[in-house]
Amino acid sequence: MSIDILREEKNMDKMADVLGRVGAWCGQNKYLSAIKNSFQTFMPLTIAGAIGVLWCNVLVNADSGLGMFWEPIMALEVINPAFAAMQFATISCITVGITFGIAQEIGESNGETGYFAGLLGLACWLSVTQSGWANYALVDTAKQTLSLTADGALQTFTGVAGGALGATGLFTGMIVGVVSVEIFCALRKVEGLKLKMPETVPPGVARAFEVLIPAVITLAIIALIGRGCELATGLYLNDVISTYIQGPLGAIGATVPGVIIIYIIIMLFWLVGIHGNNMLSAVKEALFTPLMLENIETFSKTNDAKSDELH
Quick: pLDDT tens for 46-64: 899 989 988 888 888 887 7
Mean pLDDT of 87-114: 91
Residue 191 domain-assigned?
A: yes
Say whether pLDDT at 103 is over 90: yes
Domain that holds residue 242: 119-131+167-253
Mean pLDDT over each residue of the chain, to the nearest integer: 79
Residue 227 domain-assigned?
A: yes
Say whether pLDDT at 287 is over 80: no
Q: What's the pLDDT score for residue 176?
A: 94
**pTM above 0.85?**
no
**CA pseudo-torsion sign 138, 142, 143, 145:** positive
- Structurally, the chain folds into a number of domains equal to 1
Residue 234 domain-assigned?
A: yes
Helices (H), the chain: 2-28, 30-54, 80-90, 94-109, 116-127, 162-165, 170-188, 203-210, 212-233, 237-241, 247-253, 256-271, 276-279, 281-302
Q: What's the pLDDT score for residue 301?
A: 65
Residue 45 domain-assigned?
A: no
Residue 157 domain-assigned?
A: no
Phi, psi for 24 (deg, rounded to 5): -65, -40
Say whether pLDDT at 283 is over 70: no
Which of 93-107, 185-199, 261-275, 277-291 is most confident?
93-107
Residue 270 domain-assigned?
A: no
| Closest to 280 in 3D by CA, of 41, 14, 17, 19 | 19
Q: What's the pLDDT score for residue 55?
A: 87
Say whether pLDDT at 32 is over 90: no
